[in-house]
């Protein structure tokens, strides 16, 4: 398997623009997680899905953030409008049991 | 609630030195415990895990033993290499939970 696939790997945008991050989980995995990593705050869980249904979105920082999982092989994390403080590395991870498999991350820079 | 506390870094060692990174946890029931490693520019990957008390997880020369009496899961390696330079995360998954609680990470640097 190719592992968890994320795109784009790098994104540079200007404040106020919409940003969409994409994730393809490992085939057959029924859980999908979105994380954000910064030097100041470390690794934060934003939201996770089970069988395409959002289970816990308590980590989503504010209404500017939204996530969808329209099918078992695709998820998006959208930020609208983006702000400089959203600059971070965003990871997607998937799991079938207790082990999570992380993608390579998307490094987002908001100018 | 569940939580994980690990020693703060950075930790700098010389090659072939002995490594210990401390990790303690707070949890109800019988959580599963993990160590994840993050190499520069990459996502986290599982290094080892233990699912019940007294279990020892091991991989790539690293070991950690699930100690329920001290609520600890310390990571050890007898002889580190430059290639072990990375950030190490201790983590737990509650017995009835789906998500993993990660520690703050410990940055390890190995000098040749």
| Six token digits for residue A31 | 């859980």
How does pLDDT run across A87-97, given as a tens digit for each residue?
Answer: 999 999 999 98
Q: Inter-chain contact A99–B46, Cβ cutoff 8 Å?
A: yes
How does pLDDT run across B26-60, given as a tens digit for each residue?
Answer: 998 889 999 999 999 999 999 999 999 999 999 99
- pLDDT band at A56; cut points 50, 70, 90: very high
| Six token digits for residue B108 | 């390890």
How does pLDDT run across B79-106, given as a tens digit for each residue?
Answer: 999 999 999 999 999 877 778 999 999 9
Residue A53: Cβ-neighbour burial (10 angstroms; 0-12, 13-18, 19+)? exposed
- What distance in Å separates the CA atoms of residue B61 and residue B105, rounded to the nearest whole number? 20
Q: For residue B29, what pLDDT is reported?
A: 84
Instruction: Judge whether A89 and A77 are in contact, CB under 8 Å.
Output: no
- pLDDT band at A1; cut points 50, 70, 90: low
The secondary structure element, H or E, covering residue A12 is: strand A10-13
- What distance in Å separates the CA atoms of residue B86 and residue B109, rounded to the nearest whole number? 7
How does pLDDT run across A58-73, given as a tens digit for each residue?
Answer: 999 889 999 999 999 9
Q: For residue B98, what pLDDT is reported?
A: 78
pLDDT, average across residues B104-109? 96
pLDDT, average across residues A17-46? 95
Query: CB contacts < 8 Å between A and B, how many?
Result: 43
Q: For residue B96, what pLDDT is reported?
A: 73
Q: Inter-chain contact A4–B43, Cβ cutoff 8 Å?
A: yes
User: Which among A42, A56, A104 has CB closest to B105?
Assistant: A42
Kindly report the nearest CA distance between residue A56 and chain B, in angstroms. 9
Q: For residue A62, what pLDDT is reported?
A: 85
């Amino acid at each position: 398997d190719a592992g968890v696939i994320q795109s784009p790997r790098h994104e540079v945008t200007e404040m106020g623009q919409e940003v969409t991050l994409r994730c393809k989980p490992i085939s057959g995995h029924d859980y999908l997680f979105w994380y954000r990593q910064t030097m100041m705050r470390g690794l934060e869980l934003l939201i996770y899905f089970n069988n395409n249904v959002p289970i816990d979105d308590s980590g989503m920082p504010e209404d500017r953030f939204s996530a969808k999982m329209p099918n078992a092989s695709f998820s998006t994390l959208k930020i609208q409008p983006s702000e400089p403080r959203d600059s971070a590395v965003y990871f997607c991870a998937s799991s079938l049991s207790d082990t999570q498999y992380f993608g390579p991350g998307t490094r987002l820079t908001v100018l | 609630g569940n939580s994980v506390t690990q020693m703060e870094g950075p930790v700098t060692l010389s090659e072939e030195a002995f490594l210990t990174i401390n990790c303690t946890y707070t949890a109800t029931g019988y959580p599963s415990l993990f160590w994840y490693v993050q190499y520069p520019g990459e996502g986290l990957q599982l290094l080892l895990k233990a699912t019940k008390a007294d279990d020892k997880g091991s991989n790539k020369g690293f070991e950690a033993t699930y100690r329920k009496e001290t609520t600890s899961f310390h990571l050890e390696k007898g002889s580190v290499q430059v290639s072990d330079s990375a950030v190490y995360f201790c983590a737990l998954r509650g017995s009835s939970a789906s998500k993993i609680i990660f520690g703050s990470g410990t940055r390890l640097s190995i000098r040749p």
